[in-house]
Structure 1
Amino acid sequence: MKIRGWLYLFSLTITIAGAGCQKELKDPDKEVKYTGPVMENKDVFTLYSDSAKLMIRMKAPVQQEFEKGDGVFPKGFYVEFFQQSGKITSTMRADYGKQTKGSELYFAKGDVQVHNILKGEKLETEELYWDRRRRKIYTDKFVKITTPNRVVTGQGLQSDQNFDNYTIKKITGVFDIEE
């Protein structure tokens, strides 16, 4: 009788332990993977210089970095461009931005605005690319340029990053501003 009790207890223990080990292994390729940012910085302030002269000052409330190294500015960014003398020539702002890893190419979208402070001109568009290495901005989207005495609309634009020398690909309207 004692042996039967021990056998019963041993069988029960083995059954309980065996049931606990029956956890099903999951295929890692079928698991939901995290795709969000791996790093997030707040109140980002970046300076770019050339020969110890400040050329670009960039600010963003939030910058996120993803696993592949792409940088995203989900709350937008603001950029100031400087002359060699240190004077601000132009500014650029956007509601959202993205920088592709390994390149100096930025994508801006939302309410994108570029101001040439020296000429008093303003560019407005919904999407814009900024190639920091080549110092160019461009878009294929609708653009509106406001000068002190004229508003020009069109489709597509290429310019230097200071918005000093630009070309509108297809002009759709020219409106003189009356004083």
Structure 2
Amino acid sequence: MSSCEEDLTKAGGKQSKNFPSQIINNANIIQRDSGFVTMRAKAPIIEKYELIDSPYTVARKGIDIQFFDKKKPKVPGTIKAKYARIFEYKKFYEAKGNVRITTNEGQKFAMQSIFWDQRKKRIYTRDTVYVTMEDGSTLVGAHGMTAKDDFSEYVFYQNSGDFTTSKLSEKQK
């Protein structure tokens, strides 16, 4: 009599762990803080990779996020992208592919990729950034930008733009 025996502890060490541990189809996620909705996210599919050294969550088929500010709860900021990845332990986020951001102040940003370091409260990109203000003025940052994560301050690199001067002259009077 003979038998085949496999040592599962040895074989398990060599197997790939780079597969999603959770998959959410047609995701509709709502995040709250003390009953107040702070974020809503929608994505066709979200995959969580938790069994690897640097766990992350990915939305390969796009994501649409609304951020709510307690000061302006009816006017959310939005982020839309064709791809997003979140490294939760590092508090680091990236969005790629036709990224569109609208602040709750009405400013519209367009670029191909953007990164958010939540620990440093900084957002940055090296891509060309197009910004349209509520008054219709535009700004182009040809070599990217850095910003506070609430967009209260930002710096553009090699910028140009088209600004209306009527607002400036009203303030100067």
Flag the structure with larger Rg.
1
Do 1:116 and 1:164's aligned partners in 2 also have CA atoms closer than 8 Å?
no
Quick one: structure 1 residues 34 and 52, their matched pair in 2 at CA, closer, same or farther if it must change by over 3 Å?
A: closer
Residue 79 of structure 2 corresponds to residue 88 of structure 1: no
State the 1:58 CA deviation: 1.8
Quick one: structure 1 residues 132 and 51, their matched pair in 2 at CA, closer, same or farther if it must change by over 3 Å?
A: farther
Do 2:139 and 2:159's aligned partners in 1 also have CA atoms closer than 8 Å?
no
> Distance in 1 between the 2:118 and 2:40 partners?
12
2:40 to 42, 57, 63: 57
Quick one: structure 1 residues 100 and 84, their matched pair in 2 at CA, closer, same or farther if it must change by over 3 Å?
A: same
Residue 141 of structure 2 corresponds to residue 153 of structure 1: yes
> Distance in 1 between the 2:99 and 2:32 partners?
24
2:19 to 36, 55, 60: 36
CA RMSD of aligned residues (A): 3.1
Gaps of 5+ in 2: 5-9, 165-173
Quick one: structure 1 residues 135 and 80, their matched pair in 2 at CA, closer, same or farther if it must change by over 3 Å?
A: farther
1:77 to 29, 43, 63: 63
Q: Find the counterpart in structure 1 of residue 168 from structure 2.
A: none
Q: Deviations over 1:59-105 (max 9, x none)?
A: 22111112323111111111112121422241111100111141322
Q: What amino acid is aligned across from residue 143 of structure 1 in structure 2? A: V
Sequence identity (%): 23
Residue 127 of structure 2 corresponds to residue 141 of structure 1: yes
> Distance in 2 between the 1:56 and 1:134 partners?
20
Quick one: structure 1 residues 61 and 110, their matched pair in 2 at CA, closer, same or farther if it must change by over 3 Å?
A: same
Gaps of 5+ in 1: 1-16, 22-26
Q: Deviations over 1:37-62 (max 9, x none)?
A: 23211122223333432222222211
Quick one: structure 1 residues 51 and 57, their matched pair in 2 at CA, closer, same or farther if it must change by over 3 Å?
A: same
SS of the residue aligned with 1:87?
strand
Aligned residues: 156
